[in-house]
A and B are shown apart, each in its own frame.
Chain A
Amino acid sequence: MSEADLKKTPLYDAHVAAGARMVPFAGYSMPVQYKDGVLKEHLWTREHAGLFDVSHMGQARLRGVAPLAAFEEVTPGDYIGLKPGKQRYSMLLNKQGGIIDDLMAARPDDDGLFVVVNGACKDGDYAHMESEIGGQVKIERLEDRALLALQGPEAVAVLSAHAPAVADMVFMDAAVMEMFGVSAIVSRSGYTGEDGYEISVPAADAARIWNALLEDERVRPIGLGARDSLRLEAGLPLYGHDLDETTSPVEGGLNFALSKKRREAGDFPGAARIQKELAEGPSRIRVGLKVEGAPAREGAEIADADGKVIGVITSGGFSPTLGYPIALGFVPPAVAEVGAKLNVIVRGRTQAAEVVPTPFVPNRYVRKI
């Protein structure tokens, strides 16, 4: 895709004015970093508050007679049990139990479900939902909305100065509220492991709100480079890298998203495979690795102590917070125990790696106030 074909978010001009380095991502021209660079942006988010433009992601409303029940036909999540004001992580599954995309779906109000999907997958996601449950729900793509994320320990203080009610939310709460003179859809969630918010606002107001948040000296703009290193430290998988259409939720380490009720009912796509993997264990599973030496990046092979290749790194890099390389990869369950000594092969050289718990950096979600 040439530069000219790339789409722009409503914040494109603000990024360029701030000195961002723009790169193609999910069909959009997106800021990979600003003047501070990835390392400083990463650490700033862990210490203060980072502001991210994630408007490339797909936002949609699902409305109908029974949108929650319909959504359960394409996901393994307990959405019928989702209370108003709450958000839940789940995934679209294919008939083989593979992950088409992972997503957040919320009930910020009584207007059906508010769904946020990955930018690179959104057209396929909407087509899939249309074909599977289009007879039961009307899917409205919210193309006229931008999505901002404000992440970090100071996010609550920054945002509550503009909208006091956000301080009363806990992790995975979702609400519609007035802020900056617009009706915003807000959730207390994110993709960094930090406390913070994701804020959907009208596209026409996005630049004004972006600039208003940046006026607070605790807030700096953060690019996709640091977004990736932050989510990696948080042990959060990235679709298209750590998860794809062959990966099941069990392999992907996402059992938390399979509710007891849905597991027992087996009433979701690919349930036979997923129930079998839950009972007998999967053939591979996602693990976190602490790597010695050079960073092991996507595609690097994982070998056992005898040098036999047993798996592959699906994302990896240098952890700015920890000061050493970390990675996510898939290995057989027999060697997936924390403490297992493995090797990774980087540019033909064998380097030591150890299975460690994820998140690599403890998350700081606010679960009660």
Chain B
Amino acid sequence: MRFTKDHEWISVDGDIATVGITAYAADQLGDVVFVETPDVGKTVKKGDSLAVVESVKAASDVYAPVSGEVVESNGDLSGAPETVNAAPEAGGWFAKVKLSDASEVDALMDRAAYEAFLGTLYARNNGPDALPPPHA
């Protein structure tokens, strides 16, 4: 898995990248009550809005970590948006994107780098000596 600073993850199999949000992001959002996934065939550029997740409080964009064409959308989420909270890095995926530029994957963080990034976020919010939460 690779990660963005906006807390998306991708898992690459051949030239297909599955996209979701991290456990940290799902926890920050709170209970997800609605998910808008992209239509199959939609072309996205890295950084475009790929999906929208809604909690009770607010709507948040999920950005495409890579460029490409949407080849599959997770239709299960329309009836079970809570899957994003229950299994953010598994069944809570949003879409599968056929990569148009495989080199974009290499620019993303690996898990160790992402967890170090979460540590810096936590320290900024809670002071340098604060211990990060267990999932960070």
Contact = CB atoms under 8 A, between A and B. Distances in A.
A37 B54 contact: no
Contacts of A314: none
Interface in B33-59: 33-34, 36, 52, 54-59
A317 interface: yes
B31 interface: yes
A115 to B, nearest CB: 30
Contacts of B34: 293-295, 318, 325
Interface string A121-156: 000000000000000000000000000000000000
Interface in A283-303: 293-295, 297
B75 interface: no
A42 interface: yes
Interface residues on B, range: 10 to 19
Interface residues on A, range: 20 to 34
Nearest to B125: A3
A293 B34 CA distance: 8
A347 interface: yes
A38 B36 CA distance: 21
Contact of B55 (A38, A40, A294): A38
A33 interface: yes
A120 to B, nearest CB: 18
B59 A297 contact: yes
A347 B35 CA distance: 13
Interface string A23-36: 00000000011000
A38 B56 contact: yes
Contact of A225 (B36, B54, B57, B59): B57
Contacts of B52: 294, 347
The DSSP consensus for interface residues of chain B is strand
Nearest to A224: B57
A37 B31 contact: yes
The DSSP consensus for interface residues of chain A is mixed
Contacts of A38: 30-31, 55-57
A200 interface: no
A266 interface: no
Interface of B: 30-31, 33-34, 36, 52, 54-59
Given A39-B31, A225-B56, 14 more contacts: A32-B57, A37-B31, A38-B31, A39-B30, A225-B30, A294-B36, A294-B54, A295-B59, A317-B57, A318-B34, A318-B54, A318-B56, A325-B34, A347-B52
23 contacts: A32-B57, A37-B30, A38-B57, A39-B31, A39-B33, A39-B56, A40-B31, A42-B56, A225-B30, A225-B57, A228-B57, A229-B56, A294-B59, A295-B54, A295-B59, A317-B56, A317-B57, A318-B33, A318-B34, A318-B56, A320-B33, A347-B36, A347-B52
Nearest first, the 7 A-B pairs at minimum CB distance are A39-B31, A318-B33, A38-B56, A37-B30, A225-B57, A318-B56, A229-B56
